[in-house]
A and B are shown apart, each in its own frame.
Chain A
């Protein structure tokens, strides 16, 4: 670790009906670290993600990204630093062409002209989608859309990449292709998932979030080897899978 890229201290958030979503969450993620955030449905994972770039504001506690406090005044810079890839690429890709969508983020940051084109080409190249600039997102396969969704945030040159359920609805080949892309990135990465083998493959460290609290934090292989811990928090490895296989 070369210093904390993300520091979360005492983060609390409750839904409008008063139900707590996050309860005093503390989490440090080091620069360049890849961390999986594991947890069952409704654990508060997506709520946590939405705090990382200021879409949701903490009701108590704080979130810092690269030392910068996430607050309305720092919103633009924080959103540059933290790129979130949402679960459904159809929510993320809304422009008529792939190139326009990948350009959307950096254009919001004021990048234009040749520099903008270069960012688009570079980001698509990283995810293996070079040459698809003119295609409409709805003409791509689901796996391709997921990779383009990753490119739409890579083009903003973020410091922290957050992926919300990156493997949902992907077939095994698309899952593999995405893993190959993510493994090449040297960014600080948070992978929010309940796909435990994927977490094991990509992230040396994991935290388990349940009922709005971080209940475990450690090497992914160790957490996944603790069957009781997993069962307690409604997490399960696929039948026959053993965490010592990698």
Chain B
């Protein structure tokens, strides 16, 4: 019940630079534009991928973000890269020997593409999350006219994640306090029962939230609340990243 910072804003790094202050919708569009430019980059234009990475690095430095911490967040993509590792082994077509291992040429290119484009895409998303609070991102998506059902569901998830995880943690402590220390699968009944209870409690909370919404005049559609749109200047500033990335991609395609 305390006022701690929750799990949902854990990716945000507080700051007051131009990048932090840009309206979320401009940053979201810029991120998508950048990712599109990266995806369109020819796979053998290594220098272009380096240039795309340099753009992200420059932005992170300009926003005074801790680059090391941001790079560590790239670990999120490890499960996807694990899939890429198998591509050279299971790929078809001509093979080349790498330290005595016959690897598929097409598979190697596939793995490289996933590694390079995936990492840059995730990097751009990490940059967006580090400079925009979750509520801002939701507001930005709302101003971009994403269906309200989507932003409302995402908003509820963000809002109640802390509440539900907190509840689960309290139940866990209460179980442990009564000597519950499961070591075998057969002893998991307590945890499973808690999960069921948590589901029922969350469902009941959902009903109470709905009731409280009705009490404030909710009739089935959520009003659009955030009315301050990005200015032309904001859009122009945000466009610098995708435009620079597009120029890199264009040059790489022309060579």
Task: Contacts A55-B211, A138-B6, A144-B3 given; indicate if A100 touches B216 (C-beta within 8 A).
Answer: no
Q: B16 interface residue, CB < 8 Å from A?
A: no
B151 — nearest CB in chain A belongs to which residue? A96
Q: Does B118 contact A (CB under 8 A)?
A: no
A90 at interface by CB-CB < 8 Å? yes
8 A Cβ contacts from A71-96 to B: 76, 79-80, 83-84, 86, 88, 90-96
Q: Mark A90-117, 1 if CB is under 8 A from B, else 0.
A: 1111111101100111011100110010
1/0 per position for B210-235, CB-CB distance to A under 8 A?
01111111110011111100000000
CB–CB A95/B155 < 8 A: yes
A79 and B215 contact, CB distance less than 8 A: yes
Q: Is the CB of A86 within 8 A of B217?
A: no
When chains A and B are docked, how far (Å) is the Cα of A6 from the Cα of B133?
43
Q: Flag if A105 contacts B216 (CB, 8 Å).
A: yes
Q: Which of A84, A100, A140, A153 contacts B226 (CB 8 A)?
A: A100
Q: Which of A90, A100, A105, A113 contacts B205 (CB 8 A)?
A: A90
Our count of residue pairs bridging A and B at CB distance below 8 angstroms stands at: 114
Q: A116-149: which residues lie under 8 A (CB-CB) from chain B?
A: 116, 134, 136-142, 144
- Which A residues are in CB contact (< 8 Å) with B215? 53, 55, 79, 83-84, 86, 153
On chain A, the residues within 8 Å of B218 by CB distance are: 104, 108
Does A191 belong to the interface (CB within 8 Å)? no
Does more than half of chain A's interface fall in helix, strand or loop, or is it mixed?
helix
Taking CB atoms, residues of chain A closer than 8 Å to B205 are: 90-91
Query: Is B209 within 8 A of A108, CB to CB?
Result: no
- Considering the complex, give the chain A residue whose CB is closest to the CB of B213: A94
Cβ of B156 under 8 Å from chain A: yes
Considering only residues 25-64 of chain A, those with a C-beta below 8 Å from chain B are 50, 53, 55
Query: Contact check: which of B8, B133, B160, B216 meets A156 at CB < 8 Å?
Result: B216
Distance in angstroms between the alpha carbons of A167 and B4 in the assembled complex? 21
Contact between chains at B217 and A76 (CB < 8 Å): yes
How distant is the Cα of A55 from the Cα of B216 in the complex, in angstroms? 10
Which of B25-33, B76-84, B123-131, B134-142 lies at the interface with chain A? B134-142
Give chain B's interface residues, CB within 8 Å of chain A: 1-6, 8-9, 133-135, 138-139, 155-156, 158-160, 162-163, 205, 208-209, 211-219, 222-227
